[in-house]
A and B are shown apart, each in its own frame.
Chain A
Amino acid sequence: MIIAEHLEQTYTSGGRPLTVLHDISLSVEPHAFLAIVGPSGSGKTTLLGLLAGLDRPSRGTVWLDGENLNTLSEDDRALLRVRKVGFVFQTFQLIPTLTAIENVLVPVELQTTAVNHGEAVAHAHDLLERVGLGDRTHHYPAQLSGGEQQRVALARAFANRPKILFADEPTGNLDAETGRAVIDLLVQLNREQQTTLVLVTHDRALADRAGRVLRLVGGRVASGDGRIAS
């Protein structure tokens, strides 16, 4: 589902080149659950961003569902994401001006192919129902607690029936109990929807639930080989 070869990412910081990822290769099979762990600044989020096509690597190649991201323009990569990728962020990233259901619908509305709107709304309702927010569909993010916001974000991540889900510290801003509930939901939805899940986390307990764990230190793979099977 995902293949990365010899990824290297260098940023310019304060006028000096700063390499945050060194020669990383990995592959993720369909329906697998990969957790990327490591201390702060080890390059976890950068790797996630490269795998999702949010940025181009300085060197190396990423194939996402058979497509070479290097050969795609920015808009083509966006198109690929809207069709096949879901996102969960540490800071939830709900649009404050949209209600819960409207937030969930955004990825569907961005589809360029014809979508049955009624069906999409029903699906969104269903997803919010599944994350336990069936009675709060018309609330704005500011009217929801942190856990509730992240559950809306989960519903949004699954709204376009993605093949791959990227999650960046999804429990990082939540207390332990709420975090656990969110992860239960994430794992459950992942299993039901047959999604490939790539997750960045600090949380050992969460990493333990992954099929494979890739540990990064200083931008290099410290443990867990590149091959992760389901």
Chain B
Amino acid sequence: MSDWRFTLRMAAREVRAARRQLALYASAISLGVAALVAVTSFRTDVTGALHEESRALLGADVELRSRSPFEGEVRDLLDSLRAADMPVASLTSFGSMAFAPRTGGTRLVEIRAVSGGFPFYGSIVTTPAGRWDRLEDTRIALVDPAVLVYLGIDRGDTVRLGDAAFQIDGTVDRVPGEIGLEAAIAPRVYIAERFVDETGLVRFGSLVRYAALLALPDATAAESFVDEHHDLFQQSRVGHSTATEREENMSEWFEVLSRFLGLLGLTALLLGGLATGSAVHVFVRRKLQTVAMLRCVGAPQRTVFAIYLLLAALMGLVGAALGVALGVVIQHGLPSVLADFVPLDVEPRFRLVPALAGFGIGIWVAVVFALLPLLDVRNVSPLQALRHAVEPALRRRDGWKVAAHILILATVIALGVSQAPAPVVGLVFAGAIGVTTIALWATARVLTLGARRLLPTRAPYVVRQGVANLFRPHNQTTPVTLAVGFGVFLLGTVFLVQRNLLDRLAFESGSDRPNLVVFDIQSDQVEGVRALLADASVAPPQVTPIVPARIAAINGRPAEELLQDTTESSPGRWALRREYRNTYRDTLVPSEEIVAGRWWDGESTGAGRLARISIEQELAEDLAVGLGDRITWDIQGVRIETEIASLRRVDWARFELNFFVVFEPLALAAAPRTFVTLANVPDDMGMAMVQRDLVTRYSNVSALDISTVQETLQRLLESVTLVIRVMALFSIGCGLVVLLGAVATSRLQRLHESILLKTIGARIPQVRSILAVEYVTLGLLASLAGTVLAVAGGWGAVTFLFRLDFRLPVLSVLALVVTGVAATTAVGLTGNRGLVRRPPLAVLREVAE
């Protein structure tokens, strides 16, 4: 019979004998493949849908945006389009308070006023259906479902927006191109544009965004329209995007998001590979006698090697196939979990390419990780069939093993780079996996050596025996440390980052901190608002002026000219085009410090000198300006030239009123301005009353309850971490399989040991205690190692990614360690359950036979 037929036959027989065991190991691969297939298929679903419905994302072919109403040439252009019967819609958005007279509820909302038949493409889903079509003709409002909840009202109730009242006709469930996140921060209220004036909300200082939406024959027409008028838009500070650009932006955004999730899936897959590796290790260990016998009766090395390689491939095949199936099921569940992050409704479909890729990657990972333990098969001497004690021949510098290590390394890097949003991220990922593995492996080595060295000679027998188990031959210290350590590391990192972000929010909302922001206060309302707040607030409210302004020129060069300049040293477009909300004051606030130049400490500007400003350092970089440079501001048509007197570093994370640009007071004394104030209102009742009083007395003034922002952020953070945790769970599932595999390795050995112990008189509790000591020690060290790595990972993410000070929640970290120990001990004891209860005689007979 030829070699390969024998190989196939033997592999098939091995499968027959160990179906259940192999299925368990295959499941480790399947979890990783499932995570990967689900994420990549879903990504294909979303980018496909984005592409198919790119026009619906914008609702138009071209969108023009401006911070001020369209004027001059741009208005003429829009008028000429209308005259040529081209559809032009408009969308005006601004923040305001919504007030429900029936319940007294108030909430800051985003008002979106539409006209001209927006949207041209795609449809806005409302409840009851079809209410969108009535919006432009009637005095109704369509709102995000959240608005009803916040205001405590129902459909049919009235909502006041400024000076106008609207009947709520329905809720808006889906607007193509908008992601749920936006609605969570400021829920939307849609009205017809013709009622905007009636509300009286668009006043001096209001932050209003104007958009004009155009329908053109096709994408090419959209492209050429934008190209043709590019200069005009540039000069008029009109932003623009085409449907194609919007699609590309959204696809890119979603791609980055989903690729980060993909990396988590990959972590699960690599742990699955580790599980296969340890499974093969277990298998080969149990088969040493068989291998030796096969070699004895004349099986060549390669045949024996091929049998077990085939088995690993088969495990990979079954695992990968199961994984693809499971992945497709998860893919269909993802749209609801990720609804807040996806800009349109997605119909999940079976995606062949991600499925095939997942299938192939699954098998490959299983085989590559099986190689290392499999190579040991070659070292089994046929003599081992005659006598058990023969030590396998050790080969120094085994070329194949080096090759296997390189193959694993290359696989991790290649998979990391192919899944990551950017190659660098992939390399960092591979590096992190490598560092974690090496650190955990080193911990296991230290543990093994340390246990031998520091074995407590005077400790009770059960403790000595339990600790000795850590370094006895065929011990399971390394795989358990890797599995438990990885699980604790992943969970711990996600937890620490989440906890730090949440703590930050909670810290800022301490009882002595302001919790209400009141803004858009006009000059003649300042005293009234101050008086109203003084009664409710703990500390007297500080009123800060805000002067809206644009940059007209820098060092004498007009902004329009600078915008045309595309050389590298030119100022950033964003920084040039935006509307600044500047303030003026005498003193620095605690959240800022001067890094260059001098602050004006009360000294007044000399006559005839330029007004001085202080500018935030990163903005200075964007604008390519420094100390002594001159910026000319356009404040409601009046030009004021200023000189940069200092640069400041601002801690934006602190909840203060922070500004990019601060003027010295005298310079803006006569400028038109609005006011903003922070108040500290102690209880919920007071908070609701203050907001209601404000809205009823000053309809244009907006108030934002910080706690609602915090709740929103918290909810967002929780939904993000939920997704991450779900992905991490896959990894933990794989880790569990590794752990079970490790426990299974030594089960037979333990059986012999416990029989021996019981035969010579050990009681069951003693045998159990030995096991418990071993797993508690293992679990403790592995969890500690995982936790140290998690703290390092969490610190890195919080410090460098979120730029916050890292805080270590000691109690929670201790809880994490305890959980790791408990899980390890539970799995260890469960895996060996029944073992201690078996009567020695029955087992002795079984072992002898």
Interface, chain A (partner B; CB < 8 A)? 45, 48-49, 52, 54-55, 74-75, 78-83, 85-87, 89-90, 93, 95-98, 102, 106-112, 114-115, 117, 141-142, 144-146, 149, 156, 160, 168
Would you call B297 and A110 a contact (CB within 8 A)? yes
Q: Is B294 an interface residue (CB 8 A)?
A: yes
Cβ–Cβ < 8 Å partners of A107 in chain B:
297-298
Q: Is B182 an interface residue (CB 8 A)?
A: no
Say yes or no: B385 contacts A97, CB within 8 Å.
Answer: no
- Report the Cα distance A90→B848, complex, angstroms: 12
- Residues in A with CB closer than 8 Å to B381 are 54-55
Please measure, in the bound complex, the distance between the C-alpha atom of A144 and the C-alpha atom of B848, giving whole angstroms. 12
Given contacts A93-B293, A110-B1, A110-B294, 19 further A-B contacts (CB under 8 A): A45-B386, A49-B382, A49-B386, A54-B296, A55-B382, A55-B383, A75-B300, A80-B298, A81-B296, A87-B297, A93-B289, A93-B292, A97-B16, A97-B290, A107-B297, A112-B2, A144-B849, A145-B849, A149-B849
Is B385 touching A89 in the complex (CB atoms < 8 A)? yes
**Central interface residue in A85, A86, A111, A112, by most chain B CB within 10 Å:** A112
Nearest 10 pairs between A and B by C-beta?
A82-B298, A97-B17, A81-B298, A54-B382, A75-B300, A93-B293, A109-B6, A78-B298, A109-B1, A54-B383
Task: Tell whether A82 pairs with B849 under 8 Å between CB atoms, given A48-B386, A49-B386, A87-B385.
Answer: no
Structural contact, B299 and A110, CB atoms closer than 8 A: yes
Cα A89 to Cα B18 with chains together (Å): 25
Closest Cβ of chain A to B6, distance in Å, is 5
- Which residues of B from 257 to 300 have beta carbons under 8 Å from A? 289-290, 292-300
Cα separation A52 to B298 with both chains bound (whole Å): 11
Q: Cβ of B102 < 8 Å from any Cβ of A?
A: no
Contacts of A109 in B (CB 8 A): 1, 5-6, 9
A112 touches which of B3, B385, B386, B848 (Cβ 8 Å): B3
Most buried by B among A55, A86, A93, A117: A93
Chain B, residues 287-316, CB within 8 Å of chain A (1/0): the string is 001101111111111110000000000000
**CA–CA, A54 and B303, complex, Å:** 17
* B207, chain A: closest CB distance, angstroms: 75
Report the Cα distance A110→B303, complex, angstroms.
9
Q: Does B13 contact A (CB under 8 A)?
A: yes
Q: Are B13 and A97 interface neighbours, CB within 8 A? A: yes
B297: which A residues are within 8 A, CB to CB?
A: 81-82, 85-87, 106-107, 110, 156, 160
- List chain B residues, Cβ under 8 A from A95: 290, 293-294
- B386–A54 contact, CB under 8 A? yes
Asked if residues A146 and B849 are in contact (CB atoms below 8 Å), the reply is yes
Contact A98 B386 (CB under 8 A): no
A85 to B3, CA, bound (A): 19
What is the chain A residue whose CB lies nearest that of B292? A93
- A142 cross-chain contacts in B, Cβ below 8 A: 846, 849
* Least CB distance, A99 to chain B, in whole angstroms: 9
Q: Which of A80, A98, A114, A160 lies at the interface centre, i.e. has the most chain B CB atoms within 10 A of its CB?
A: A98
- Distance in Å from the Cβ of B64 to the closest Cβ of chain A? 74
Give a binary string over B762-773; 1 marks a CB under 8 Å from any A CB, 0 the rest.
Answer: 000000000000
- In Å, the complex CA distance between A71 and B294 comes to 22
Say yes or no for B453: interface residue by CB 8 A criterion: no
A61 to B421, CA, bound (A): 64
- The reply to whether the CB of B560 lies closer than 8 angstroms to some CB of chain A is no
A80 to B301, CA, bound (A): 14
Bound-state Cα–Cα, A111 to B848, Å: 32
Nearest Cβ distance between residue A145 and chain B, in whole angstroms?
7
B54 to chain A minimum Cβ distance, whole angstroms, is 58
For the complex, is B14 an interface residue (Cβ under 8 Å from A)? yes
Q: How far, in whole Å, are A126 and B848 apart by their CA atoms in the complex?
A: 28
Q: Are A106 and B294 in contact (CB under 8 A)?
A: yes
* CB-defined contacts of B846 to chain A, threshold 8 Å: 142
Please measure, in the bound complex, the distance between the C-alpha atom of A81 and the C-alpha atom of B383, giving whole angstroms: 13
List residues of chain A with CB within 8 A of the CB of B385: 54, 87, 89, 93
Asked if B387 lies at the interface with its beta carbon under 8 angstroms from chain A, I say yes
Residues of chain A with a CB closer than 8 A to B383's CB: 49, 54-55
A68 to B298, CA, bound (A): 17
Whether B298 pairs with A79 at a CB distance below 8 angstroms is yes
For residue B387, which residues in chain A have a CB less than 8 angstroms away from its CB? 45
Residues of A close to B386: CB separation below 8 A: 45, 48-49, 54, 89-90, 168
CB atoms of A110 and B293 under 8 A apart: no
| B302 nearest in chain A by CB position | A75
Chain A residue at minimum C-beta to C-beta distance from B300: A75
Sampled A-B contacts (22; CB under 8 Å): A54-B381, A55-B382, A75-B301, A78-B298, A78-B300, A79-B298, A79-B300, A80-B298, A81-B298, A82-B298, A82-B299, A87-B293, A93-B296, A95-B294, A97-B14, A97-B17, A98-B13, A109-B9, A110-B297, A112-B2, A112-B3, A142-B849
Of all chain B residues, which has the CB nearest A49? Answer: B383
Q: Can you name the residue of chain A whose Cβ is closest to the Cβ of B294?
A: A106
Provide the residues of chain A in CB contact with B848, threshold 8 Å. 146
Measured CB to CB, the nearest residue on chain A to B297 is: A107
A54 contacts which chain B residues (CB < 8 A)? 296, 381-383, 385-386
Complex-state Cα separation, A97 to B846, whole angstroms: 15
Q: How far is the CB of B302 from chain A (nearest CB, A)?
A: 8
Enumerate chain B residues within 8 angstroms of A102, measured Cβ to Cβ. Answer: 13
B34 to chain A, nearest CB (A): 30
Distance of A52 Cα from B381 Cα, bound (Å): 13
Bound-complex Cα distance A145 to B848 (A): 10
Which of A75, A87, A111 contacts B296 (CB under 8 A)?
A: A87
A89 contacts across to B, CB distance below 8 A? 293, 385-386
Bound-complex Cα distance A95 to B13 (A): 10
